[in-house]
Chain A
Amino acid sequence: MQRVAEISLTESNVDSVESLAYRARRHVVAMAGRGGCFIGSAFSCIDIIACLYCDVMRIDPQRLNAPERDYFLLSKGHAVPALYAVLVERGFFGRRRLDHHLQPSDDIYLHPNRNIPGIEFHSGSLGHALAVGIGIALDIKLRKKSNRVFVLLGDGELNEGSVWESIMVARAQQLDNLIAIVDRNRRQANLPTESLVPLEPLSDKFAAFGWSVRECDGHDFKSLRTAFHPAPARSNAPNAIIAHTARGRGIASIQDRANGWFMKLDEGQRLEFLAELDQSWETAR
């Protein structure tokens, strides 16, 4: 069982998660070419998910139900291509299975379901998974275990009242083993979050509800790791990490664009997107 959360960060580690995230983005582009997917949403949270699965969570792809594992719940289910891609890169299932994207013969489709190895809970209807995470986190507390529960939420998803019920109850139950990550890409469907139902000051909101809050750059692995390490940060308080991100990050031509939400790529676009990814990867190196 890896206990990567406890190891010190090394340069080689940084390289590996970055290259993993780059390869994962290539998988997502392939899925967008196989019938389409929510590529913009996937690319705003893919670095967060890569960081969790490489550097933060205790996981073992060979032992999916390992009792000591950390849990990850993707509450913004439409971003699931990012999760499929990272699970493949971490060895939860074979890369070839991604070729079945949207084929009726497999369960690799637009929202996560438990037929995919490594997916702990289905999602797709927003505002559900934080509550599920609380249930799991409470069970862990009752069993006096040290597993942690990571729940990734969209910022638009915070419109749903059910999320705020969970935020209050998590504090009431003192679930310091719960880590909610907000993918703060500042967009929901086709609108900026702040022009629809403003969320700011978001950190203050979580803090006012008794949570321990950190902010980070959701595309900078050093910043992400600092935010995650070590969690829990404060005893008895649930943890919120507001990760500042950009929709479509990694492909300059769609980054932060309103219409870069769901995209179905033709062959030409797919190749262009891959070229753009390669270019930003080369530049970053």
Chain B
Amino acid sequence: MEVIARPHAKNLVRWAKDRPEVLVLSADLTSSCEANDFRDAYPERFFSLGLAEQNMMGFAAGLAREGFIPLVHTFAVFICRRAFDQVAMSIGYSNLKVRLLGFLPGITTPGGATHQAIDDVGLMRLIPNMNILECADATEVESVLDVAQALEGPVYMRMLRGDVPRLFPQDEPMRFNRARVISEGYDLTLLSSGICTEEALRVTCALRQRDIHINHLHISTLKPFSDPNVLNALKAARKGVVTLENHNVIGGLGSAVAELMAEAGIRGPLVRLGIKDQYAHGASRPYLMRKFGLDAAALLEAVSGLLGRGVRIRTEDLPQDLPGVSSKASIKAEDL
């Protein structure tokens, strides 16, 4: 599998070239959020506002009100936690075309609880008018701005940076409110998002070889959450539904699925894999994915539990040939 270095950095420059109304705002994390190539290419459209995120959100709202399209770049925690009121009131309430690019989603950073956005999807889901997109690979990083561009209101995007694997063909971009069908089957329905989809692929791959067929959907639009294919897949699940996300199980994908199932009267077990309502800590990505149960091994256990018979696949049997960032994560300056 191909791994792309800094896909957002390159794509942003290409994408913004003929869009003079697009501005990039940064809160002193310019290269950390891969906005430095844009800054060098179009310095007149780049604004670094110091590490002052609350001010940056109001500033973006003012610019959007006047017809600009601000792309706000900072870490997810600083958009969603620090500046929540400004995002909700100045951007959400006024339904302005501001694009919020949140980097370091979930446990993709070794920086500990202060830097790990395990609550960002939940917080953004609470804001009326807000749309939420999440990237899982280089193809989605390269197409997420197009998806956002077609939307009139505000958009929050969970971004990936650095070395990003390409899981999906380049000619199959992210589509708004449309799940990707990764595999079909009626035994179980699995919904995964973000970096967890790579882990899920390892499991579904191994299960298929043992003739266990999982209906696996990859979710990149977390709000709205009204894709009829998702509802159908939930209804079709014979032995249950599993969600796997790089987020607290409260407020994110697992919650959205639970709400949908309850409202549609879908019976059957739902297993929500994700961070179980606790703060994480500083450590490598693979370590944290294992410890907090976001990895292939955790998924395998959940699947075995729902199928009610030994799946007879050991963690060691899972394919290793999906070389993504998770297998080679190491701390770099730009991780912080």
Q: Are B284 and A104 touching (Cβ within 8 A)?
A: yes
Q: How far is the CA of A166 from the CA of B331 in the complex (A)?
A: 33
Confirm or deny: B77 has a beta carbon within 8 angstroms of a beta carbon on chain A: yes
Q: How large is the interface on B (under 10, 10 to 19, 20 to 34, 35 or more residues)?
A: 20 to 34
Q: Are A189 and B282 touching (Cβ within 8 A)?
A: no
Question: Contacting B114 at CB < 8 Å: which of A36, A77, A196, A261?
Answer: A77
* Distance between A103 CB and nearest chain B CB, rounded to angstroms: 8
* Distance between A191 CB and nearest chain B CB, rounded to angstroms: 7
**Residues of B with C-beta under 8 A to A36:** 331-333
Confirm or deny: A78 has a beta carbon within 8 angstroms of a beta carbon on chain B: yes
Q: Are B32 and A107 touching (Cβ within 8 A)?
A: no
Confirm or deny: B82 has a beta carbon within 8 angstroms of a beta carbon on chain A: yes
Confirm or deny: B5 has a beta carbon within 8 angstroms of a beta carbon on chain A: no
Q: Are B51 and A156 touching (Cβ within 8 A)?
A: yes
**Residues of B with C-beta under 8 A to A125:** 77-78, 81-82, 114-115
Question: Contacting A110 at CB < 8 Å: which of B50, B51, B111, B332?
Answer: B111
Q: How far is the CA of A182 from the CA of B115 in the complex (A)?
A: 23
**Residues of B with C-beta under 8 A to A127:** 51
Number of interface residues of A (CB under 8 A): 33
Question: Contacting B52 at CB < 8 Å: which of A111, A161, A261?
Answer: A161
Determine the residue in chain B with the shortest Cβ distance to A154. B51
Question: Contacting B49 at CB < 8 Å: which of A38, A109, A126, A197?
Answer: A197
* Distance between A250 CB and nearest chain B CB, rounded to angstroms: 20
Q: How far is the CA of A102 from the CA of B109 in the complex (A)?
A: 12
Q: Are B31 and A190 touching (Cβ within 8 A)?
A: yes
* Distance between B119 CB and nearest chain A CB, rounded to angstroms: 13
Q: How far is the CA of A38 from the CA of B30 in the complex (A)?
A: 17
Q: Are A160 and B51 touching (Cβ within 8 A)?
A: yes
13 contacts between A and B (CB under 8 A): A109-B112, A111-B112, A111-B114, A122-B113, A122-B114, A124-B111, A159-B52, A189-B30, A196-B48, A196-B50, A262-B336, A264-B332, A264-B333
The interface of chain B, by Cβ under 8 A from chain A, is: 28-32, 48-52, 54-55, 77-78, 81-82, 110-115, 281-284, 287, 291, 331-333, 336
The interface of chain A, by Cβ under 8 A from chain B, is: 35-36, 38, 77-78, 102, 104, 107, 109-111, 113, 122-127, 156-157, 159-161, 188-191, 196-197, 261-264
Q: Closest 9 CB pairs between A and B?
A: A124-B114, A109-B282, A197-B50, A159-B50, A262-B333, A125-B114, A104-B283, A159-B51, A159-B52
